[in-house]
Structure 1
């Protein structure tokens, strides 16, 4: 009898090799074919800094295990994970906490020249490109992976198809879905009720929620305060047919529990405008939530929508604007402007921050100043 555990496909490799992009393609293809698949970018579940040395994989493994329980309760049958790993000992951090999953660890590889090209095309931290090349060379001597797949010169769909083929037609035979019962759906990670501050950054499409939220997180932890950051859109990738709003709330609680165990004292969250306190507060005992709504005018929103369509901004897996044609981007910009106007009517949030003509650093500084020096720790 074969192994009937749900399968996990772990795409690893150096920075810029395409782990998240190819992983999302596998996830999207299976979801379109009706397979209830979960996707997790490991970077997104370990944003807790300053991090104790040597604890990154322990935090990621803990948070992934807690999230997988929630994915299963929504009927998830397999999991695609994108994230770096270097040694068999690091892999065991995950397999120990997730014995109910069948792991296939795949290392993606391209030659140095193409890796440099891919890395620089992201437009993020170009000064780290040589580090990525050195990391790739070191990984060529590693033995943690079950297989190595060269993806040089391939399109994203071609690379995803090759990975699945080399992984034995992944996901292969799947166990029957097991939906959680009502008690399971009400469960939440253990947490104390001590108060902690949460800064929730929301706003219309393309207003800059994730960019501003991450900058706020960065400024806070660089001041010496151990802080955590979560983009709720990045912790609820399960398709098709999932209750994503409920999944966001449960996974946010799961990830925060892990961050808090690492000593995080405050939490910055980026979320859609309707993802406010309702539905989250009861999952976060002790949370003192300040909702900050970012605002931008129609011209600014159109510029930011167009930039994301061209591939600018943070490389977020599953960005619905990336690669759209001019007409589709124009329609998206119109929808974003209407969202911003609608949000202004009920005056959503405790703070309204205008972002027109301002850098992300200026926006973050304004948020901190107008919130009276958040996070108000004693």
Structure 2
């Protein structure tokens, strides 16, 4: 925790895509958001979802993939390599000294009570020998750490040959049978940039799984990082792949955030979820609130999501982003998009999440005995 896996991984992805390499990025945390689950099935779930997404990335012409996530033993590594025999894995462990690790961890403002656990975890990894490469990121800016990772890994990814692409995959999964089980509830959060889709979506997911309901969560921005690619098609396929993995471990409902910028896109994505009943909730905020949230993201506030395009922007760029967000919100309002419209101005994340669930019929409102 806090060694820089997601940040450095995204930077490696960015450097390669800028150089013209068709590269993909996956954060394993983002493809295992299904709780509550026994701890010992987490890597198996991540590995199965990654393997299912792999075919979709390859069909779009992926030449290499950056995978960010935690593994602590060679046995855990084998859960991934066994399911992807065509992949040539290079395992790079990032490390940082205890003092800087504590500083980074506490600087996140998330679960500060776990800081000692993070230090103990790092000490245990320092005694391990399963990685191919180890890079100390202490004192390094993220771009420099990414450059050093690639250098230590032999100029990764090295020479790339043209991939033998798999046959084209069907665009949509088959429709469910007429005698299928009752539809699984899906809540899809839509709205303008910075309105809070991911934050509210994750809060709803957390509220539901804390009641004992096995819930799943997908942030659409996190399942289609391939540059360049047909993003809409890829994300629809990857959504279907990840949802199949979650259903296989017993997910009873699904929360999805973002990436439905038009009714057609939403329809494409929703058709990746056969056997579900999708409720679309549009979050709304006024121009002043959107400007505040855009500025907060620009300063590094909010969830640390890989690839956040607002993080680190200057004042003028953030101003333009806020103006775009306001136009997006206005257009969605004019269109009357969504089954529900929820105002978020002046309200906490928990208040908004509670309102969404209440107005969505006590979502997910599972039948008695389903929990």
Instruction: Indicate whether 1:206 and 2:191 are aligned.
Output: no
**SS of alignment partner, residue 338 of structure 2:** coil
Change (3 A) 1:369 1:238: same
Instruction: Indicate whether 1:159 and 2:145 are aligned.
Output: yes
Instruction: Indicate whether 1:279 and 2:264 are aligned.
Output: no
- State the match for 2:117 in structure 1: 131
Aligned counterparts of 2:23 and 2:161: Cα–Cα separation in 1: 13
**SS of alignment partner, residue 186 of structure 1:** coil
Change (3 A) 1:122 1:261: same
Instruction: Indicate whether 1:352 and 2:341 are aligned.
Output: yes
- State the match for 1:8 in structure 2: none
CA RMSD of aligned residues (A): 1.5
Query: 112-121 or 64-73: which moved more?
Result: 112-121
- Paired residue for 1:330, among 314, 319, 328? 319
Aligned counterparts of 2:323 and 2:92: Cα–Cα separation in 1: 41
1:129-149, CA deviations, whole angstroms, 9 ceiling, x for partnerless residues? 121111101111112211211
Moved segments of 4+, more than 6 Å: 189-192
1:191 Cα deviation from its structure 2 partner: 8.1
1:73–1:178 Cα contact (<8 Å) kept: no
- State the match for 2:84 in structure 1: 98
Instruction: Indicate whether 1:236 and 2:224 are aligned.
Output: yes
TM-score w.r.t. length of structure 1: 0.93
Please give the residue correspondences for 1:1-378 in structure 2 after superposition, counting only pairs within 5 Å. Answer: 15-182=1-168, 184-186=169-171, 188=173, 193-194=180-181, 195-240=183-228, 242-274=229-261, 277-378=266-367
Aligned counterparts of 2:42 and 2:234: Cα–Cα separation in 1: 24
Aligned counterparts of 2:259 and 2:319: Cα–Cα separation in 1: 20
Between the two proteins, the alignment pairs up a number of residues equal to 362
**SS of alignment partner, residue 40 of structure 2:** coil
Aligned counterparts of 1:76 and 1:39: Cα–Cα separation in 2: 10
**SS of alignment partner, residue 249 of structure 1:** helix
Aligned counterparts of 1:327 and 1:282: Cα–Cα separation in 2: 39
Aligned counterparts of 1:139 and 1:364: Cα–Cα separation in 2: 38
1:152-201, CA deviations, whole angstroms, 9 ceiling, x for partnerless residues? 1111111101100110110012231334443x243759988532111000
Structure 2: state its 5+ residue gaps: none
Aligned counterparts of 2:313 and 2:110: Cα–Cα separation in 1: 21
Aligned counterparts of 1:49 and 1:190: Cα–Cα separation in 2: 27
2:294–2:318 Cα contact (<8 Å) kept: yes
1:306 Cα deviation from its structure 2 partner: 0.3
1:123 Cα deviation from its structure 2 partner: 2.3
TM-score w.r.t. length of structure 2: 0.95
Aligned counterparts of 2:154 and 2:342: Cα–Cα separation in 1: 51
Change (3 A) 1:214 1:315: same
Structure 1: state its 5+ residue gaps: 1-14
